[in-house]
Amino acid sequence: MQIFKTPHFDFLRWRWFAIGLSWLIILTGVAVIKTKGLPLGVEFSGGTVVIVQFEQEPPDSSVIRSALERSMPGEGQNAVIQRYGPEASRQYMIRVPDVGAEAGAGLSEKADKVVAALKAGNVGSIKLPVSTEIVGPAVGQDLRRKGFLATVLSLIGILLYIAFRFQFSFAVGAVVATVHDLLVTFAFLAFFRYDLSLNVIAAILTVTGYSTNDTIVIFDRVRENVRGMRRDNLYDIVNKSVNQTMGRTVITAGTALLSAVALFLFGGEVLHGFAFTMIVGIVTGTYSSVFIAAAIAVIWQSRTKKPGKMATSAPAASASPTPKTRKPGRRRAS
């Protein structure tokens, strides 16, 4: 299916604007994380999550917080209370951090205290907890370490693979684009205050593979075009390659984005963080493959080029030919 017929867009013309926009988003995200922090899910921070359902219309979250503070001094003040699921479900999610010692029945006592505090506070008639999730601090720390290690190892693998298959400048462009995708995704998670959970980490690793695959498709087309465009500069070769793969990029990114949006709208509260991360990652992954990875490869190649490597500038135009002289011949008779 052909969407674009011989497009000729100058993508690299906007490379500095794209890099500047990316820096703006990343630095703003760093500022938000530094001032407000990045919310951590119970898997990483350690704590107890209790989801309760009210038989009638539930009260305001401030009423629930007051009941927790009276029965659980200190712990109730740090609790995170928010509506869970659709409004008709009448559910609240209550997360209390720091479960304390990770041993035996002590892990379940916090969930029982939350339910008892709600009943003692007369906040309304509640059913038994819909679900309870408990993670100790040691487990949370181990999960943080493994999540970080998985991300770093994936980046190293990408660098080695692309450096082996392509030129090193392409590997640098791909890794920079992948790091860019991670930082932009974390920035948007901080902007919209989504918890960093195992589901979000899974989405980030999925987006990393998706973005790398998109970048490799473009770089593979660049490698093919180099053989037939030896007299052209790398700038024109990359631009042509991006234009040639644009139809494939739009179809792939479009279908993946529609799936992520459907998951966000209809997947329920549990999958909101995962779906949101996928949406942001697909958009920024496509954007970085076109504007960041290709631009970094061109910039790196132009500054580290050695004689005999790929041409980075068009050959100089030859001198204008001398006008042809007419050969002597017979004059036409008048």
Looking at residue 107, its pLDDT comes to 54
Identity of the highest mean pLDDT range in 22-26, 66-70, 72-76, 218-222: 22-26
The 10s digit of each residue's pLDDT in 267-320 is 877 788 899 999 999 999 999 988 998 888 888 877 766 433 444 333 334 444
For residues 292 and 144, state if they share a domain: yes
For residues 109 and 152, state if they share a domain: no
Residue 171 carries which side chain, given as an amino acid letter?
A: A
Residue 302 burial by CB count (10 A; 0-12/13-18/19+): exposed, middle or buried? Answer: middle
Of 112, 135, 158, the position where a domain reaches its end is: 135
Mean pLDDT over 115-131 rounds to: 78
Has residue 12 got a pLDDT over 50? yes
Looking at residue 27, its pLDDT comes to 96
Of 94, 110, 135, the position where a domain reaches its end is: 135
For residues 185 and 271, state if they share a domain: yes
For residues 115 and 143, state if they share a domain: no
Whole-angstrom CA distances from 236 to 10, 186, 229, 254, 295 are: 9, 33, 9, 26, 12
Is there a domain that residue 312 lies in? no
For residues 131 and 261, state if they share a domain: no
Looking at residue 100, its pLDDT comes to 52
Q: Are strands 47-53 and 131-135 parallel, antiparallel or unpaired?
A: antiparallel
Looking at residue 180, its pLDDT comes to 92
Secondary structure letter of residue 126 according to DSSP: B
Is there a domain that residue 316 lies in? no
- Cβ contacts of residue 41 below 8 Å, gap of 6+? 195, 196, 197, 198, 200, 273
Confidence of residue 33 (pLDDT cuts 50, 70, 90): very high
For residues 172 and 189, state if they share a domain: yes
Looking at residue 305, its pLDDT comes to 61
Is there a domain that residue 263 lies in? yes
Looking at residue 311, its pLDDT comes to 41
Is there a domain that residue 329 lies in? no
For residues 161 and 76, state if they share a domain: no
Exposure of 250 in the CB half-sphere (CA atoms within 13 A) = 11
Is there a domain that residue 310 lies in? no
Residues facing 50 on adjacent strands: 94, 132
Confidence of residue 39 (pLDDT cuts 50, 70, 90): confident
For residues 101 and 164, state if they share a domain: no
Number of domains making up the chain: 2
For residues 181 and 287, state if they share a domain: yes
Mean pLDDT estimate for the chain: 79
Looking at residue 144, its pLDDT comes to 75
Of 110, 135, 160, the position where a domain reaches its end is: 135
For residues 289 and 171, state if they share a domain: yes
Mean pLDDT over 197-208 rounds to: 86
CATH number for the domain that contains residue 98: 3.30.70.3400
Give the range of the structural domain holding residue 78, as residue numbers without chain letter. 47-135
For residues 297 and 190, state if they share a domain: yes
Has residue 51 got a pLDDT over 80? yes
Please say whether the beta carbons of 66 and 123 come within 8 A: no
d(C-alpha 41, C-alpha 195), whole Å: 5
Residue 37 carries which side chain, given as an amino acid letter?
A: G
Looking at residue 333, its pLDDT comes to 44
Looking at residue 317, its pLDDT comes to 40
Has residue 328 got a pLDDT over 60? no
Is there a domain that residue 322 lies in? no
Is there a domain that residue 313 lies in? no
CATH number for the domain that contains residue 15: 1.20.1640.10
Is there a domain that residue 311 lies in? no
For residues 161 and 268, state if they share a domain: yes
